[in-house]
Each structure stands twice: as structure tokens, then as C-alpha cells.
Amino acid sequence: MTTEPEPRFTRRRLLRNGAAGSVLLAAGPLLATAPARAAARLASAHAAGVPKKGGTLTFARSVAPTQLDPANSIIAGDVYTLDKIMEPLYLTSPAGQLIPWLAESHTTSADGLTWTFNLRPGVKFSDGTPLTPADVVFSIKREAANTNGPLSFLDAAIKTIKASGPNKVVFGLSAPWAPFLSDISVFANAIIPANFGGKSEKAFFAKPIGTGPFVLDSFTPSSNLTLKPNPHYWQVGKPYVDAVQINYVSADNQRVLQIQSGEAEIIDQVPPANVSALKRASGVKVELYPAWEVDLLVFNEKLPQFADRHVRRAITYAINRPALVSATSFGTAKPGGSFVPPSLEYYDPNTPVLAYSLANAKAELAKSKYPHGFHTKLLISGGVQKWSEFAAIIQQSLAPLNIKVTIDSPDNAAFHTQFESFNYDMFIDYAINDISDVDEMASFELNYKDGGSSSYWSSYNNPAVTALVNKAEAEFDTTKRAALYAQIQALVAEDAPFVPLDYPPYIYATSTKVNGFAVNPGGAYRLENVWLS
């Protein structure tokens, strides 16, 4: 296969640590597959009764904001608290669809290089000042120029941004770029007042203002945060609650106790082991939301044993993913196959997955330079119980191949330092698509040169795959894009640069008093529709 010309800009990616979830159009507004169950849940929530005002919603979160600038979200912790204050031009609905938000519509030129956004009339910031094109230009230029921003690579296609009249913003791109509308929807592209509303950057983000349904009332970093309704919110009559109290509760068992006792109305990161009991608990609802997430076993191809394709394929064959999921997820997750999760657009169910077969594993290893096995290490974050369980199963699974695995489980900071410096043999981590277009995940995990992570720190480098990823980025026809991503998924499954272990959902528990709550596949949740009965 010939190599396609490289784009005139590159993707960059820094792993988003500690966020609610770590990725990604056609010319039209419907971009991602809409999971029917998610859409039905949302419709059901609104049909539960007539929303009423009042009450304080208490939310126990497993992660907490550490600062309030969405452009610096790699150190923000809980980014999906910040987006209650500041909003983007488009966002992703609970059904996984892009929908107009601060922009009410957009148009794209025939050559795909010019995108014009029409701002929604009447939108104001929480201090009462009107939203203007100048605010949009300032905000997105700031994010795009943020060399330390973990998601600024999503704005790499932007060549120019300018205001056009009282309600239009025009983006000029350096090349046709199909994922652009999805890119512009990321939380890091939230709109704030131009020039920080006349304040210094530090003063502004001490108590930021935005167009969101809530304003900051109080904030203790890494501990708790209180939100109050924005009196100028553009959705008249919303939000419904009088306040949102978000508390950082890191221990799983403490969050579970709080939802059972009524101390919290919503908790996140419900451990799969607790799902069955919580479903039986009085006054509690449990929801499993489809996620654009995959748990991966990654191989370091800088090492000769993992540069050997036969070794990687042998290990993939040796791991019984359905059994692994059954043993660890209590029925909540699905076994992995493609590196693209089923909830994400362009997932191909016909991907030729190397399904469990010990006979095939032994035959594949016999073709390698290591037919008698070898010693290796598996790196995991010591603070994640799930990874410990996965690691033990993988260790046992590779023993019949005489691949002897030692498990290394440092603290989370050391874990990231090690794999990001290629100081590992194999490691387990998750990948999350932040936005609705699969290109974020594809480019981050497969584009060795320009994806920003040397193919998720694996050093996987297949020029044929890279060429297809680049071609798909410039293709606006959805049928043709689907065919390209099917080819990509097939090639990656055959090469086995990593093993997609499972597809976990987002698991939340809420009080039965909570109505209108839903989570989108990227991990974001809106609270302006939530009301307490």
C-alpha cells in the first residue's frame, strides 16, 4: 500500500490522568452512533414527571477538581465539574450525538477548509455580559496555542479564526479535516470572556465565569465544590436545583455507603462487585452507561521479544477475554475485540479478532524467535484493584507458553512515569475517546510519528495503518470512512500491538429522587436537566 501524504498539521496527545474518564465527521451534524438504550433512558428520565424547582443535589465523586481552567485539564482532575460552568460551541449528547450548543448551527465550505459557526442569540455569561464572537476567538485561540494543554492537539487543524459580524465565527483549516466539529466540542474548547473579562488569568480562574447552567459558589481544591444556578442561563427555567454540592470521596466503599444512607444522591465509579446489591437496595437506582473506553494490554515494541509479531499474537491468543471479563466485572463489562469500542462510531463487529485458543497461541509462539518462552514484567498502577485482577489472570494465562510474568505495581505517578519513558515490558491501562469521532483514538494509538504518544507508548509503527488513519481524517463521506476504519481495525487486530481486554461501562448509582440524570459515552454528564422529586 502506498503511503498517503501526511497532513499539514499533526495530532499531539498527553494522557489525561485522573479525569472522569482518556479518543473523536461527516459534514452533517449526526456523527456518532446513538446507543438506543442511552436515548431511551434520557427520554424516560424526562417523562418521569414534570420537573420541579428546589433542593440541593449532593454528588460524591471519585475524582475532584484541582484547578478550574479547562484548557489545563491534565491537572484539572474532575474536568466534568468544570463544564457545568463553561460550555463549548457543540457538545455530545447522552446518546453520543453532536448537538449545537453555544452555536446554533454551522456550515462547511465545499472544499472542507472553511467552517462558519452561527452563535446562539441571547446567550450571556453569568455576569450578564453577552456572548460575542470575540469571546469565541479568544477562547479557542488560547486553547490551540496552549503547548502544555493535553487536548490542544485537537485544534491543530485550525489555521485562522476570525469574527464575522455580530454572531458568526469563521474557522480556516490548513487541510480538509473530517473530525473538526467533534474536535471543537471537547471540554477544553469551552468559551470564556475575551481577555478574561478584564482580569488577570489567575484572578479569573480563581472564580471563573461562563455561559453554563451553574456558577461557582465555593471551592476547596481536591476536596469539595459548591455550584449555584446561573441567573442568566440561556436555557430559561434551568437549572432546576438550588445548589449542587460535589464532594471528593476517593474510597469506593465510602461512596457506596453514602448512596445507601442518603448522604449522597449520586455516586460515580460504582465497583462492579457492588452493582447487584445496590440494585436491590431501597431508594437506589443503578445505571450502566455505554462508554467510549477500552482497557488495553500494551506491548513495548522497543524490546526484541515484543517487536516479534508472532509473540504478540501468541499472547493475544492465550488470553481468554470472555473468562477474564466474567471473573472481574460481575457481568458489567464486555470482552474486548477491536481497539475501537462498540459504542463508538465506525466500530466494526467483523474485525478478525484473535480469539482465545491455547493451541493457536502455542503454534504462533513456535513461529517466533522465542519458541521456548521468556521472562517478562507486567506494569500496572498499584492503586487499581481491577488491574491487579487482570494482571494475575494474564500471568496465569501465559504460563502454558512458558512466558513467566513478574507483576510490577508502583504507585500511579511512578506507573505513568515508567510507561511514558518506555521503562516497561508490558503495561495495562485504559484509553477513552474524549469526543465523538474515532480519529482521536485511532491517531493517538496508531500514528507513531504524529499521534503524540508513539502509538500509546507501544512504538507500533505500521506505515499502511498510518496511511489509512491519515486518509480517514480527510474523508467526509461516512460510508468511505467506515470502510477505511474497518481496514484499520482488521490490520491492527492481525498485528496485535496491544490486546483490547474489555469494554467497561460507566457505572453510576443515584437516589430514586433524582430525575433527568444521564452520562454521555465520553464520560460527561449534564446537570441542568436534573431535578429532585
Nearest to 344 by CA among 41, 95, 26: 95
Q: Sorting pLDDT into bands at 50, 70 and 90, what band is 23? A: very low
* For residues 230-252, average pLDDT: 96
User: What pLDDT sits at residue 33?
Assistant: 38
Dihedral (Cα; 401, 403, 406, 410), 10-degree rounding: -100
User: What pLDDT sits at residue 78?
Assistant: 72
Query: Can you give the pTM of this predicted structure?
Result: 0.86
User: What pLDDT sits at residue 149?
Assistant: 67
More confident residue, 431 or 35: 431
What SS3 state is found at 207? coil
Cis upstream peptide for 335 (omega within 30°): no
Per residue in 488-506, pLDDT tens? 999 999 999 999 999 999 9
Q: Sorting pLDDT into bands at 50, 70 and 90, what band is 385? A: confident
> What is the widest separation between alpha-carbon atoms in the chain?
71
Q: Is the Cβ–Cβ distance between 74 and 17 less than 8 Å?
A: yes
- Say which residues have a Cβ less than 8 Å from residue 208's Cβ, sequence separation at least 6: 68, 69, 85, 86, 192, 216
pLDDT of 266 higher than 60: yes
Q: Sorting pLDDT into bands at 50, 70 and 90, what band is 413? A: confident
Any alpha helices (H) in 241-357, and if so which ranges? Answer: 252-261, 272-280, 304-307, 309-318, 321-328
Choice among 75-79, 136-140, 427-431 with the minimum mean pLDDT: 75-79
Q: Sorting pLDDT into bands at 50, 70 and 90, what band is 10? A: very low
* For residues 279-288, average pLDDT: 97
Per residue in 47-69, pLDDT tens? 457 999 999 999 999 888 888 88
Burial class (CB in 10 A: 0-12, 13-18, 19+), 252: middle
Q: Sorting pLDDT into bands at 50, 70 and 90, what band is 156? A: confident
User: What pLDDT sits at residue 79?
Assistant: 78
pLDDT of 1 higher than 70: no
Nearest to 432 by CA among 331, 289, 269, 295: 295
pLDDT of 401 higher than 90: yes
pLDDT of 171 higher than 60: yes
User: What pLDDT sits at residue 347?
Assistant: 97
The share of the chain scoring above pLDDT 70, in percent, equals: 89
| Cα–Cα distance measured from residue 226 to residue 56, given in angstroms and rounded to the nearest whole number | 10
More confident residue, 345 or 44: 345
Q: How far is CA 376 from CA 132, 306, 513, in A?
A: 57, 10, 51
pLDDT of 415 higher than 70: yes
User: What pLDDT sits at residue 148?
Assistant: 66
Q: Sorting pLDDT into bands at 50, 70 and 90, what band is 183? A: very high
The C-alpha cell at 209 is 465565569
* For residues 158-162, average pLDDT: 96
User: What pLDDT sits at residue 75?
Assistant: 52
**Residues paired with residue 469 on neighbouring β-strands, in sequence order:** none
* For residues 21-27, average pLDDT: 31
- Say which residues have a Cβ less than 8 Å from residue 97's Cβ, sequence separation at least 6: 29, 30, 31, 32, 34, 436
pLDDT of 128 higher than 80: yes
pLDDT of 222 higher than 90: no
The C-alpha cell at 46 is 424526562
Q: What is the overall mean pLDDT for the chain?
A: 89
**Residues paired with residue 412 on neighbouring β-strands, in sequence order:** none
CATH of 293-503, one of 3.30.300.30, 3.10.105.10, 3.30.360.10, 3.20.20.370: 3.10.105.10
User: What pLDDT sits at residue 506?
Assistant: 96
Please report how the helices 478-495 and 439-446 are oriented relative to each other, as an axis angle in degrees rounded to 10: 30
* For residues 264-283, average pLDDT: 96
| Cα–Cα distance measured from residue 29 to residue 230, given in angstroms and rounded to the nearest whole number | 28
User: What pLDDT sits at residue 28?
Assistant: 35
pLDDT of 485 higher than 60: yes
Per residue in 302-332, pLDDT tens? 999 999 999 999 999 999 999 999 999 999 9
* For residues 84-95, average pLDDT: 95
Choice among 127-141, 228-242, 378-392, 439-453 with the minimum mean pLDDT: 439-453
Q: Sorting pLDDT into bands at 50, 70 and 90, what band is 32? A: very low
Enumerate the domain spans of the chain: 293-503
Per residue in 333-377, pLDDT tens? 999 999 999 999 999 999 999 999 999 999 999 999 999 999 999
The residue type at 8: R
Choice among 39-43, 166-170, 337-341, 436-440 with the minimum mean pLDDT: 39-43
pLDDT of 461 higher than 70: yes
CA atoms within 13 A on the CB side of 429: 26
More confident residue, 13 or 246: 246
